[in-house]
Amino acid sequence: MPELPDVAAFKDYVDASSLHHRIRHSRLTDRRILGEVTPQKLQANLAGSRLASTARHGKFLFAELDRGGWLVLHFGMTGGLAYAKQEDEPPRFTQLLLEFDNGYYLAYTCQRMLGRVSYAEDREAFIAERELGPDALAEDLDGEAFADLLAGRRGMIKSALMNQSIVAGMGNVYVDEVLFQAGIHPKTPIHRLDGKQIRTIYRTMRRVLHKAVEKESIIERLPASYLLPRRDTDRPCPRCGGPIRQMDVSGRTTHYCPDCQPEG
């Protein structure tokens, strides 16, 4: 689930539930979930702190600690959050549990262990170290800046849009959606795209991601014209009615409409 719109929903969830409560105790289930931080350092920074604010960059969620530094959450493919009363059993696959002084907890769950929990002194430095590209919804990422990101690159457009060091936030599902709505074949070589097509991809990316954030990335709430709710081979294309096809692009399953997204 967790691509940019999902992480945006997690951010809203934390903002609505978990800010400004003192963390009495934190519980780490499996240290493999940790990034470049020791369990001791993480827990020392969490204990007694409050989450003061949150920020998102691509698929990363940052929670600012009022005593300094940031709790950094990445959700992998199966990560999630749950806020509940401490008398309730934490959900299955809970890897990190923050117990607040108001009797509630925030649980970070990660079934497949591909997510990561980290601590960062400085958010911008963390983003720079990870070599993340600009957030796909960043205000200062305009059409021209977007075109610059792709300029001179080799490879297929789908691979580039999924590359977090080029532009941060999209994964397999939303890239398919963007390219479907833009009418671009996923395997199109970047150098074969003209300026008009790049602008179309940019505008479509912004529109799709904004809409998905607005709908809290809940598939059922997305417009019927979207590919996402019908991401199934041989289901009818919402635009032309022809069959949606499946293929492999850089090892990822890709859904597309051969008629609406002709090969360049």
Partner DNA sequence: TTCCATGTTCCGCA
Partner DNA sequence: TTGCGGAACATGGA
- Active-site residue 236, yes or no? no
Binders in 119-158 for DNA, by CB under 7 A:
130, 153-156
Query: Mask: binding to DNA, 54-83, rule CB under 7 A, as x and -?
Result: ----xx--------------x-xx------
- Active-site residue 2, yes or no? yes
Query: What is the size of the binding site for DNA (CB under 7 A)?
Result: 34
Smallest gap from Cβ 130 to DNA, in A, equals 6
Among 113, 138, 147, 247, binds DNA (CB under 7 A): 113
Distance CA 71, CA 188 (A): 38
Smallest gap from Cβ 197 to DNA, in A, equals 17
Among 134, 171, 186, 238, binds DNA (CB under 7 A): 171
- Active-site residue 3, yes or no? yes
Positions annotated as catalytic residues are 2-3, 59, 252
Q: Which residues bind DNA (CB under 7 A)?
A: 1-3, 6, 30, 32, 58-59, 74, 76-77, 111-114, 130, 153-156, 159-160, 162-164, 170-173, 249-253
